[in-house]
Amino acid sequence: MAGEAKTAENLVEKPQTLEALRAGIVAGRTRATELAASYYERIEKKNPRLNIYLSLTKERALEQAARMDALAAKGDPLPPLAGIPIGIKDVLVMQGAPSTAGSKILEGYQPPYDATAVKKLEAAGAVLLGKLNCDEFAMGSSNENSAYGPVLNPVDPERVPGGSSGGSAAAVAANLAVATLGTDTGGSIRQPASFCGVVGVLPTYGRVSRYGLIAYASSLDRIGPLAGNVRDAATLLGLIAGHDPSDATSSPAPVPDFAAESDKPAAGLRIGVPAEYFAEGLDSEVRAAVESGIAALEAAGCSVKPVSLPHTKYAVPTYYLIATAEASANLARFDGVRYGYRSPSSETLAAMYSNSRDQGFGAEVKRRILLGTYALSAGYYDAYYLKAQQVRRLLAEEFLRAFAEVDAIVTPTSPVPAFRLGEKTGDPVSMYLADIYTVTASLAGICGVSVPCGATKAGLPVGMQILAAHLKEATAFRVARAVEAAQA
């Protein structure tokens, strides 16, 4: 497991489970205010090294903790996350708290409202500690595109934590939060979860309201939890999911009790293994760890059979065309007029737009805006954007066919374990290929979980990706619990 990594510093620590923390708070053995203070103490010690938090929301957190302590003292019933310290990725807005999305262009911005997922966590009693570092506008696979410097991986600080929710994964790995919210557009929850040895959830598209998420690619963006174990992640998803009138794409489907569903044994579930995800480019130690996870599923009574997803190799190019096209439209709003950075010395409106954007955006964001604008521009629209949308349908239909035969599909989350800082920054295509196993589910809108399934000889965590059909998160959680149990 992650904790065995041979680093001189001891940066990895597993958070207590929600159940254990809750028992302490309900019984009065643990005070929420003291728990929050102890987390802020840890953050103060470890954050200068790891760069996980961009800002802290101490006042709001301690007020909420005091409210929970008062409820407990009176013997009133406590909400499900009473006093639980949670961190929020900085692409989700919190009223009055800095929300930078990892970009200079939003430095100093203090949003006038809360994201729905944030509001729901707080209504459930959670204590929100602060805002977590991420790649600028969630564009990246290593956290090296943050305007505020990269997060370091607590397992091995010479390596990246993955991206774009690198801070969200690293915070759980280092126990600088019990759980966190991240966002996933092409793998941005699952891949960092696998790199840091924690659990990360990609909910079905529409399961969680995107209201208050600073948009990257709206047809792909999702908000999901990261936690130290599968059951806690399932609990959190249940609390943030559900229809929201403020997001027209949010699903009215009823939200199951995911934690209780995850308690059901995995025996009898049909597991598909796609050969396309075990081909050239897969690290041999990652393969071995994932295969041991598959063996654990067989031992738990699942049936395992091959499935075929032949369009997999087209997913990365399809993803980068669609995501950048949507990004070029979404990021047009950052123009120095209504919020965020305005270049101080522009004589005309047009110059103000372009100077503000040039000075405010980092290189990867500019690259993606340019690629997206190109793919949408006259003469190229059909060849690039429309073509990618057609391939997107082929990829989605292929998954729907596979899910007629199996309940879940298991793959490696990433072809490699956490790579070194700087290793891929010079070559955008090689960085994009880090997402090769995760972008497929993003395009198809299906759900999934990344769960630790072993480690390399050097102690780097390996994640198994468990994919399930639209709205079948409960199935993915059951499978993930079985993989997790075999690790214990």
Partner 1 sequence: MSAKVTVEDVERVAELAHLQLTPDETGRMLLDLNAILDYVAELNELDTKGVAPLAQVSELQAEAGASDLRGDVVVPSLDRAAVMPQAPESDQVFFKVPKVIER
Give the interface segment with partner 1, choosing from 24-32, 104-112, 456-464, 479-487 (CB under 8 A): 104-112
In this chain, which of 20, 260, 349, 485 binds partner 1, going by CB under 8 A? 349
Site for partner 1 in 446-475 (CB under 8 A): 470-471
Is 337 or 485 the residue whose CB approaches partner 1 more closely? Answer: 337
Residue with tokens 């019990």: 178
In this chain, which of 70, 275, 299, 351 binds partner 1, going by CB under 8 A? 351
Q: Which segments of 165-298 are extended strands (E)?
A: 179-184, 199-202, 222-227, 270-274
Give the interface segment with partner 1, choosing from 168-176, 244-252, 265-273, 404-412 (CB under 8 A): 244-252
Q: Is residue 165 near partner 1 by the rule CB under 8 A?
A: no
Among residues 188, 250, 262, 328, the one annotated as catalytic is 188
Q: Is residue 112 near partner 1 by the rule CB under 8 A?
A: yes
- 164 is annotated as an active-site residue: yes
Peptide bond into 168 cis (omega under 30): no
Q: Is residue 384 near partner 1 by the rule CB under 8 A?
A: yes
Is 152 or 388 the residue whose CB approaches partner 1 more closely? Answer: 388
CB of 119 to partner 1, least distance (A): 14
Is 17 or 389 the residue whose CB approaches partner 1 more closely? Answer: 389
Cα–Cα distances (Å) from 35 to 27, 229, 318, in that order, read: 14, 20, 45
Contact between 384 and 350 under an 8 Å Cβ cutoff? The reply is: no
Contact between 162 and 143 under an 8 Å Cβ cutoff? The reply is: yes
Is 278 or 339 the residue whose CB approaches partner 1 more closely? Answer: 339
Q: Is residue 193 near partner 1 by the rule CB under 8 A?
A: no
In this chain, which of 20, 299, 429, 485 binds partner 1, going by CB under 8 A? 429
- 6 is annotated as an active-site residue: no
In this chain, which of 48, 75, 245, 306 binds partner 1, going by CB under 8 A? 245
Strand order in the sheet with 222-227: 53-56, 127-132, 85-89, 179-184, 222-227, 199-202, 447-455, 461-468, 408-412, 270-274, 303-307
Q: Which segments of 266-368 are extended strands (E)?
A: 270-274, 303-307
Q: Is residue 354 near partner 1 by the rule CB under 8 A?
A: yes
Q: Is residue 278 near partner 1 by the rule CB under 8 A?
A: no
Q: Distance (Å, rounded) from C-alpha 251 to C-alpha 248?
A: 8
Q: Which segments of 121-245 are extended strands (E)?
A: 127-132, 179-184, 199-202, 222-227
φ, ψ dihedrals at 365, nearest 5°: -65, -45
In this chain, which of 70, 123, 363, 485 binds partner 1, going by CB under 8 A? 363
In this chain, which of 393, 401, 405, 420 binds partner 1, going by CB under 8 A? 393
Strand 303-307 vs strand 270-274: parallel, antiparallel, or unpaired? parallel
Contact between 186 and 180 under an 8 Å Cβ cutoff? The reply is: no
Q: Is residue 295 near partner 1 by the rule CB under 8 A?
A: no
Q: Is residue 104 near partner 1 by the rule CB under 8 A?
A: no
Q: Amino acid identity of 252? A: P
Q: Distance (Å, rounded) from C-alpha 20 to C-alpha 161?
A: 27
CB of 476 to partner 1, least distance (A): 15
CB of 202 to partner 1, least distance (A): 13
Site for partner 1 in 308-327 (CB under 8 A): 311, 313-314, 316-318, 320-321
Q: How many CA atoms lie within 13 A of 324 on its CB side?
A: 26
Is 56 or 321 the residue whose CB approaches partner 1 more closely? Answer: 321
3-state secondary structure of 382: helix
CB of 400 to partner 1, least distance (A): 7
If you ran DSSP here, which 8-state letter would residue 403 be given?
Answer: T
Is 42 or 387 the residue whose CB approaches partner 1 more closely? Answer: 387
Residues 6+ apart with CB under 8 A from 128: 57, 60, 61, 64, 86, 87, 88, 94, 118, 121, 122
In this chain, which of 42, 342, 425, 487 binds partner 1, going by CB under 8 A? 342
Site for partner 1 in 132-161 (CB under 8 A): none
Among residues 103, 142, 146, 164, the one annotated as catalytic is 164
Site for partner 1 in 200-229 (CB under 8 A): 204-206, 219
Contact between 165 and 102 under an 8 Å Cβ cutoff? The reply is: no
Q: Is residue 332 near partner 1 by the rule CB under 8 A?
A: yes
Q: Amino acid identity of 67? A: R
- 104 is annotated as an active-site residue: no
Contact between 100 and 88 under an 8 Å Cβ cutoff? The reply is: no
Q: Is residue 110 near partner 1 by the rule CB under 8 A?
A: yes
Give the interface size with partner 1 as a residue count (CB under 8 A).
79
Q: Is residue 164 near partner 1 by the rule CB under 8 A?
A: no
Q: Is residue 280 near partner 1 by the rule CB under 8 A?
A: no
Is 384 or 419 the residue whose CB approaches partner 1 more closely? Answer: 384
Question: Which amino acids are annotated catalytic?
Answer: 89, 164, 188
